[in-house]
């Protein structure tokens, strides 16, 4: 690379010198000089040739020849064209065909035919109680003859005949931070500090609309159902109605209530529709209707 730079710098000097020479001498269309060579001396490019012009002329032509050779050497070298070697013929690579992977189907669960409607819920209004109830906590609880006696804590009171005991009450009154309950049975007022109030059960029965041949019942408390393998399925609330369904397999101590769904028998209050073994031919078994139709030995229902 250094040699190339030197050569290029030398070519630049030669070309510059030739331009000055051409301008000093001048050339015609035939290539002959149009001004005397002494112009070179005037240009300061060669010595004055007035005494020895022939030698100077020979030197001049040699200089020109040298410059032409240098110019030829300084020209850009031809760059060889790269040759492309033939390559092998391209062949198409076959694309593998995707094969569909079969998706395994889940194991089918046992099926059953859902039961047609077989019961109606009892009207909740029928469960409204006339009385409310409380547990008596104090064996010496006082039963005052009037509300004023209870508030004033007078001597006009009595005691309950029995203990432990439950009382029914129909109304309440509050005075000075204390609540009093009226007991219509013993006809008196009892201070709430002597009572534990009881909440009535929200349970109600069912009205059957047709004969049933399967066991059914009510869940006794919040219970988790399971499948045959023991895995949890869902939660059932207290008093939720369930019924037995046919099962492909048996699970001891459990009742099947759906396709691969089971509840512990101990968590369900079951009603068995089967006739008890001790029932005789004259035992009355009244069906779901209340229209007075005789059912298996039952006398017609009587109004009232």
> Does residue 141 contact residue 190 with C-beta atoms inside 8 Å?
yes
If one counts every other C-beta atom within 10 angstroms of the C-beta of residue 133, the result is: 15
Question: Of 152, 150, 132, whose CA–CA distance to 141 is shortest?
Answer: 150
- Domain 130-198, CATH: 2.30.30
37, 50, 146, 160 from 25: Cα distances, Å: 6, 16, 155, 156
Residue 45 contacts residue 111 (beta carbons within 8 Å):
no
- For 197-218, what is the mean pLDDT? 88
Here the tokens at position 140 are 């010496």
> Please, which pLDDT band fits residue 184 given cuts at 50, 70 and 90?
very high
Pairwise CA distance, residues 35 & 27, whole Å: 8
Does position 48 have pLDDT exceeding 80, yes or no? no
Q: Give me the residue label for tokens 């101590």.
A: 253
pLDDT at 220 over 50: yes
Over residues 193-221, the mean pLDDT reads 89
Average pLDDT estimate for 171-192: 95
For residue 133, what pLDDT band results from cuts at 50, 70 and 90? Answer: very high
Q: What per-residue confidence (pLDDT) applies to 187?
A: 94
- Asked whether 252 and 262 are in contact (CB, 8 A), the reply is no
Instruction: Check pLDDT > 80 for residue 28.
Output: no
Nearest to 261 by CA among 235, 281, 222: 235
The strand order across the sheet containing 188-191 reads 157-159, 142-144, 188-191, 178-183, 171-175
Residue identified by tokens 């209870």 is 150
Angle at 251 between CA 246 and CA 253, to 5 degrees: 105
Least reliable range by pLDDT among 63-77, 143-157, 184-198, 286-300: 286-300
* pLDDT tops 80 at residue 227: yes
Mean pLDDT of the chain, nearest integer: 74
The mean per-residue pLDDT over the stretch 59-75 comes to 55
pLDDT at 179 over 90: yes
* Residue for token pair 């004023």: 148
CA–CA dist 173, 151 (Å, integer): 10
Q: What is the pLDDT of residue 104?
A: 45
Return all residues near 208 (Cβ < 8 A) that are at least 6 apart: 118, 119, 287, 288
Tokens 């002329």, located at residue: 57
Residue ranges of the alpha helices (H) in the chain?
Answer: 2-25, 38-42, 53-74, 147-152
pLDDT at 62 (0 to 100): 62
Q: Any idea which residue has 């399971």 for tokens?
A: 226
pLDDT (0 to 100) of residue 20: 65
pLDDT at 114: 74
| pLDDT(54) > 60 | no
Alpha helices in 128-204 (DSSP H): 147-152
Confidence grade of residue 202 (pLDDT, cut at 50, 70, 90)? confident
Averaged over 22-43, what is the pLDDT?
Answer: 55
pLDDT in tens, 145-165: 999 999 999 999 999 999 999
Ranges of each domain in the chain = 2-74, 113-121+204-293, 130-198
Q: Which residue has the higher pLDDT, 198 or 45?
A: 198
The string of pLDDT tens digits covering residues 82-125 is 555 545 555 555 565 555 555 544 444 445 567 788 999 888 88
Span 237-258, pLDDT tens digits? 999 999 999 988 889 999 999 9
pLDDT of residue 174: 95
């Amino acid at each position: 690379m250094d040699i190339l730079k030197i050569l290029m710098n030398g070519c630049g000097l030669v070309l510059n010198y030739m331009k000055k020479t051409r301008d000093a001498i001048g050339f015609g269309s035939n290539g002959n000089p149009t001004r005397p060579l002494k112009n070179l001396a005037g240009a300061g490019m060669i010595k004055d040739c007035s005494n020895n012009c022939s030698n100077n002329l020979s030197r001049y032509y040699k200089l020109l020849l040298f410059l032409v050779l240098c110019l030829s050497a300084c020209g850009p070298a031809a760059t060889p064209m790269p040759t492309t070697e033939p390559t092998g013929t391209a062949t198409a690579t076959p694309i593998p065909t995707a094969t569909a992977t079969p998706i395994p189907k889940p194991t089918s669960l046992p099926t059953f035919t859902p039961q047609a409607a077989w019961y109606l819920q009892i009207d909740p209004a029928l469960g409204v109680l006339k009385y409310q109830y409380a547990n008596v906590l104090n064996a010496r609880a006082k039963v005052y003859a009037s509300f004023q006696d209870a508030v004033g804590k007078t001597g006009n009171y009595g005691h309950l005949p029995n203990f432990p005991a439950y009382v029914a009450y129909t109304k309440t009154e509050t005075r000075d931070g204390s609540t009093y309950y009226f007991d219509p049975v013993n006809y008196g007022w009892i201070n709430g500090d002597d009572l534990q109030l009881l909440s009535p059960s929200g349970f109600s029965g069912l009205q059957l609309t047709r004969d049933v041949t399967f066991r059914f019942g009510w869940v006794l408390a919040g219970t988790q159902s399971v499948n045959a393998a023991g895995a949890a399925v869902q939660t059932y609330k207290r008093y939720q109605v369930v019924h037995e369904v046919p099962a492909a397999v048996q699970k001891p101590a459990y009742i099947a209530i759906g396709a691969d769904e089971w509840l512990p028998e101990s968590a369900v209050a079951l009603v068995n529709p089967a006739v008890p073994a001790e029932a005789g031919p004259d035992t009355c078994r009244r069906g779901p209707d209340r229209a007075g139709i005789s059912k298996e030995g039952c006398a017609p229902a009587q109004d009232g």
